[in-house]
């Protein structure tokens, strides 16, 4: 639902919709982070990432992809170290490498 709202009205308008949601699941957080990353607003994506209560491999992949597109490789290298510490999951790490 958030993704449809975002495509129709833009990322800034969907923020109000997100803020009014009574329950925010991992998918809704990931959608917001992805939306900000897709339009190059990595500072805002990072704020959402930091506030997100529970992250998964999609969350990490979206952040890494966003930083790569913006050309901020130093931050990407930092994320690789953190994700491996947090997840220790080779499948997750492989997903990030492909990002």
User: What's the predicted TM-score (pTM) here?
Assistant: 0.77
Interior CA angle at 83 toward 32 and 88, to 5°?
130
**Which pLDDT value is given to residue 28?**
94
**Which helix (H) or strand (E) element contains residue 99?**
none
Domain chopping of the chain, boundaries: 2-98
**Which pLDDT value is given to residue 49?**
93
Task: Please determine, for residue 92, whether its predicted confidence score (pLDDT) is greater than 90.
Answer: no
Dist CA 41 CA 70 (whole Å): 9
Predicted confidence band of residue 87 (pLDDT cuts 50, 70, 90): low
Selected residue with higher pLDDT from 68 and 2: 68
Dist CA 40 CA 82 (whole Å): 22
**Which pLDDT value is given to residue 23?**
94
Quote the tokens at residue 7: 């495509």
Residues with Cβ within 8 Å of 64's Cβ and at least 6 positions away in sequence, in order, are 76, 79, 80, 96, 99
Pick the CATH number of 2-98 from 2.60.40, 1.25.40, 1.10.287, 3.90.1200: 1.25.40
Per residue in 12-62, pLDDT tens?
Answer: 788 988 999 999 999 999 999 999 998 899 999 999 999 999 988 888 888
Selected residue with higher pLDDT from 33 and 81: 33
Question: What Cα–Cα distance (Å) separates residue 77 from each residue in 7, 8, 19, 93, 96?
Answer: 30, 34, 31, 12, 11
């Amino acid at each position: 639902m958030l993704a449809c709202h975002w495509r129709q009205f833009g990322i800034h308008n969907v923020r109000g919709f997100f803020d009014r949601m009574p329950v925010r699941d991992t998918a809704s957080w990931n959608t917001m982070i992805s939306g900000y990353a897709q339009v190059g607003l990595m500072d805002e994506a990072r704020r959402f990432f930091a506030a997100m209560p529970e992250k998964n491999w999609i969350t990490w992949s979206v952040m890494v992809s966003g930083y790569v597109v913006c050309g901020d490789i130093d931050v990407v290298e930092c994320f690789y170290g953190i994700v491996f510490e947090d997840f220790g999951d080779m499948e997750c790490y492989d997903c990030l490498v492909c990002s």
